[in-house]
């Protein structure tokens, strides 16, 4: 059940890293001069000898992280998602993913959570880029509970991980007792007419759309895929075989994100379904509040409701 209390996933991430540090002496945190926004300065204050601020130098950030991993450390390298996935794509690919170094990449202010700064800071390509790198696990949490569990799982996992974090205060979808496993998807709501699949903060809007559709007699099944790679295709296909209709929704381009991953999964077992991918459609976005930008590009609450209604009417 969703908790009404608003929590910040980035604070949850740092809480968990601080809690993990005494248990995992190899853990170090690096930042690219965004420690005020990312909150990594809290880790710096708790463990000053295990924190490195490399300045506005994202390529160096991941080169240094790779070097630390080569010496046996477990580096968590934090910057904005747009800079990790684009400016530092080659160092991540060649210096981290290729040798399978044990680096945890945190991409903050992901998706449209940085609405006010416009296209230059709204990261809508990062999932597509990171999914294409071999050996890299790609994850994105929907709330503070999942963020903490993902952070712990990422540090415990041997190999490179990309953790996409959106910076907004949101209620908790998950109970503290939920069990997070890398590669597992979750059915948040049972339904029979339409499957809505989401990850990150889009999960909240998917649940709100399901609530809005219920009085209209539309039964919506809501799936969450906190791990984008590897994707839980078994859960996805089982749901679609039941509902026969799928909507994916994400704060990301329609190219290369969950919609593309779902399309690939559906082609393999030849699952027949009516399918619509909601995402930003091959344009550069505008500035505005995160919610207003989401509504403009069709991935807000109303956009999901409209898609559910339209797909449910198709026979």
Taking a C-beta distance cutoff of 8 angstroms, is the pair 206, 258 a contact?
no
Q: Is the dihedral of CA 16, 17, 18, 24 positive or negative?
A: positive
Q: Is 58 a catalytic residue?
A: yes
Q: Is 217 exposed, middle or buried (0-12, 13-18, 19+ CB in 10 A)?
A: exposed
Question: How far apart are the C-alpha atoms of 81 and 85, rounded to whole Å?
Answer: 6
Give the Cβ contact number of residue 5 at 10 Å: 10
Reply yes or no: is the peptide bond before residue 85 cis, omega within 30 of 0: no
Question: How far apart are the C-alpha atoms of 172 and 72, rounded to whole Å?
Answer: 35
Q: Give how far Cα 313 sits from Cα of 194, 213, 216, 274, 307, Å.
A: 10, 12, 12, 11, 10
CA neighbor of 201 nearest in space, from 55, 28, 8 = 8
Taking a C-beta distance cutoff of 8 angstroms, is the pair 190, 139 a contact?
no
* Residues counted in the chain: 315
Nearest-10 Cα torsion for 137, 143, 144, 147 = 0
Give the pairing of strands 186-189 and 74-80.
unpaired
Taking only Cα atoms into account, the Rg of the chain, rounded to an integer number of angstroms, comes to 19
Candidates 16, 58, 224, 250; catalytic one: 58
Q: Which sequence positions are flagged as catalytic?
A: 58
């Amino acid at each position: 059940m969703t908790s009404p209390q608003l929590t910040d996933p980035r604070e949850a991430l740092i809480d968990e890293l601080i809690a993990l540090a005494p248990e995992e002496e190899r853990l170090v945190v690096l930042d690219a001069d965004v420690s005020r926004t990312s909150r990594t300065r809290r880790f710096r204050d708790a463990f000053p000898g295990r924190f490195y601020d490399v300045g506005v130098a994202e390529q160096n950030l991941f080169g240094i992280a790779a070097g630390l991993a080569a010496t046996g450390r477990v580096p968590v390298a934090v910057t904005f998602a747009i800079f990790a996935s684009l400016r530092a794509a080659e160092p991540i690919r060649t210096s981290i993913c290729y040798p399978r170094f044990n680096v945890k990449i945190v991409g903050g202010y992901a998706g449209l959570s940085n609405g006010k700064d416009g296209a230059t800071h709204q990261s809508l390509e990062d999932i597509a880029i990171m999914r294409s790198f071999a050996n890299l696990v790609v994850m994105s949490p929907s709330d503070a509970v999942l963020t903490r569990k993902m952070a712990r799982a990422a540090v415990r996992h041997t190999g490179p991980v990309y953790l996409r974090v959106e910076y907004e205060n949101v209620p908790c979808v998950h109970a503290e007792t939920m069990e997070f496993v890398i590669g597992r998807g979750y059915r948040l709501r049972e339904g029979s007419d339409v499957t809505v699949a989401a990850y990150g903060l889009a999960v909240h809007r998917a649940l709100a759309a399901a609530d809005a559709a219920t009085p209209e007699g539309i039964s919506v099944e809501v799936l969450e895929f906190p791990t984008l790679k590897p994707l839980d295709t078994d859960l996805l296909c089982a749901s679609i075989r039941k509902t026969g209709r799928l909507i994916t929704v994400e704060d990301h381009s329609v190219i290369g994100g969950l919609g593309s991953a779902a399309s690939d999964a559906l082609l393999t077992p030849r699952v027949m379904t009516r399918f619509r991918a909601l995402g930003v459609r091959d344009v550069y976005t505008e500035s505005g509040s995160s919610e207003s930008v989401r509504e403009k590009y069709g991935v807000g609450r109303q956009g999901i409701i409209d898609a559910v209604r339209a797909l449910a009417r198709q026979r």
